[in-house]
Amino acid sequence: MQMEQVDVVVIGAGAVGLAVAAMLAEAGRDVIIVEAGPAIGMVTSARNSEVIHAGIYYPEGSLKARLCVEGRQALYAWCAARGVTARKVGKLIVATDDAEAAALDGLHRKAAANGVDLLRLSGAQAMAMEPALSCVAALQSPETGIIDSHGLMLSYLGVAEDHGAMLALNTPVLSGAAEADGIRLDCGGAEPMTLKARVVVNCAGLWAQRVSQSIAGVDPASVPPLSLAKGNYFDLTTAPPFRTLVYPVPVNGGLGVHYTVDMGGRGRFGPDVEWLDHADPDRVDYQVAPRRGDVFYDAVRRYWPGLPDGALAPGYAGCRPKPHPVRAAAEDFMVQTPSQTGVDGLFTLYGIESPGLTASLALGRLVTGYVAEA
Ligand SMILES: Cc1cc2nc3c(=O)[nH]c(=O)nc-3n(C[C@H](O)[C@H](O)[C@H](O)COP(=O)(O)OP(=O)(O)OC[C@H]3O[C@@H](n4cnc5c(N)ncnc54)[C@H](O)[C@@H]3O)c2cc1C
């Protein structure tokens, strides 16, 4: 079997792994990206809302808050410079009763603490903007947008490759070990190979814990628990009711059943939060059960009473890697450096759920800074 000495290996070619690879390659590192699948971005990065989040919901000082705001600004600039389609369509967070209106005040304060500007609207103002809407108050986020996530990933790969990075598809990391002269990674696939790297960045998304557990020398106490929360979408089969994105007041574990549009202008609702009773990413069933639609109709009609019967069709689903037990309170992104993983040169990202797409460039820059310091 081949044994190759390399500078940096990035494990996983989702939006985050590709952004990390692009930033590291731009900084002059020799990067190999190893991806288990047959193409880039086929897992969580292909199964999300493609929303560029403003940075409203996250606790002040958290990585999510900081990297969402930094990442959003960097992302709009990146897309403008590289011809990736992104549109600032804005968003409304709508309250449908007085208790929710009071909750908007808390969200408004949280956003301000994170450096995000929102406008408070009366119900009448919001409904004048969006006549199909029903609400008693709203917050408007002008900075929220939508993005062509596959175009974004191709642009990350392009920049990485322009700076000498190589992508190995169908190349799952099966095991590894911390050794005196670097980190050994044993890769499977059609052409199995062994890599010996000075630096490894584990961006394996839902499999990040499994990859860590397969590398001898990783401190077992550094690997957080994993629980999986599936998010189901329903497609709207009628004309889009709104020009902007519409979100209810958030619920535990997710942002509530919200309305987004894809790049083609088609509307969809979701994702909901379905906690899975196992933590095996290989067993996630991405089919959307039609019966979940009943809950969607009720949730959506709170802010869009005109939703016609039969207008929702099961769409796609994604899965959130939660770095904590099922239904525990939301946790932050985790970016571990060698002092935490216990292995020289090993950096690991856990719990990169939403807003990971928005924060991808900022995560790439953060990791690149850590690697430079190490
Ligand atoms: C339902 C849902 C909606 C979301 N909506 C938004 C949104 O609107 N806006 C936003 O900013 N964020 C959103 N997110 C979050 C965003 O999609 C993710 O944070 C982001 O896509 C994560 O990218 P990633 O590269 O970490 O993971 P992934 O895209 O899953 O990539 C990980 C890659 O690692 C590979 N891999 C795994 N194991 C191995 C191995 N052993 N060897 C080699 N390769 C391996 C996998 O094949 C995969 O390609 C949403 C997430 C979900 C679930």
Question: pLDDT digit string (tens) for 329-358?
Answer: 778 999 999 999 999 999 999 999 999 999
What number is the average pLDDT over the span 1-19?
92
176 close to 183: Cβ distance less than 8 angstroms: yes
Mutate which of 48, 226, 273, 274 for ligand 1 pocket (most atoms within 8 A of beta carbon): 48
Domain span at residue 198 reads: 3-48+150-225+330-373
Provide CB contacts within 8 A for 294, sequence distance 6+: none
In a domain, 62, yes or no: no
Distance (angstroms) between ligand 1 centre and the Cα of 15 equals: 7
**Residue 81 falls within a domain, yes or no?**
no
The total of structural domains in the chain comes to 2
Helix axes of 149-162 and 360-373: crossing angle, nearest 10 degrees: 30
CB 201 within 8 A of CB 20: yes
Tell me, yes or no, whether 251 and 338 share the same domain: no
213 lies in the same domain as 185: yes
pLDDT at 1: 58
298 and 195 in one domain? Answer: no
Q: Give distance in angstroms: CA of 139 to centre of ligand 1.
A: 29
What separation in angstroms does the CA of 216 have from each of 8, 28, 197, 236?
A: 18, 29, 14, 48
302 plus 233 within the same structural domain: yes
SS3 content of the chain, % helix, strand, coil (to 5): 30, 30, 40
- Would 58 be classed as within a structural domain? no
Residues whose beta carbon lies within 6 Å of some atom of ligand 1: 11-17, 34-37, 41-45, 48-51, 53, 172-173, 203-207, 211, 231, 271, 318-320, 352-358
Residue 244 — very low, low, confident or very high, per pLDDT cuts 50/70/90? very high
Residue nearest to atom 33 of ligand 1 (CA): 12
Nearest CA to ligand 1 atom 25: 14
DSSP bridge pairs for 246: 92, 259
Whether residue 188 sits in one domain with residue 178? yes
The answer to whether residues 171 and 39 belong to one domain is yes
CA 297 to chain centre: 26
Q: Based on the fold, state whether residues 244 and 286 are members of the same structural domain.
A: yes
CA of 352 to the centre of ligand 1 (A): 7
Q: Looking at the predicted structure, is the pLDDT value of residue 184 above 70?
A: yes
- Whether the pTM exceeds 0.95: the reply is yes
Is 54 among the domain residues? Answer: no
How many Å lie between the centroid of ligand 1 and the Cα of residue 102?
34
Q: Please name the residue whose Cα sits nearest to atom 27 of ligand 1.
A: 205
259/136 same-domain check: yes
Q: Is the separation of the CB atoms in 281 and 207 below 8 Å?
A: yes
CA 255 – CA 272 distance, rounded (Å):
8
Q: Are residues 249 and 318 in the same domain?
A: yes
CB neighbourhood size of 166 (10 A) = 14
At 325, the pLDDT band (50, 70, 90 cuts) reads confident
Residue 33 backbone phi and psi in degrees, to 5: -105, 125
Looking at the fold, whether 133 and 187 belong to one and the same domain comes out as: no
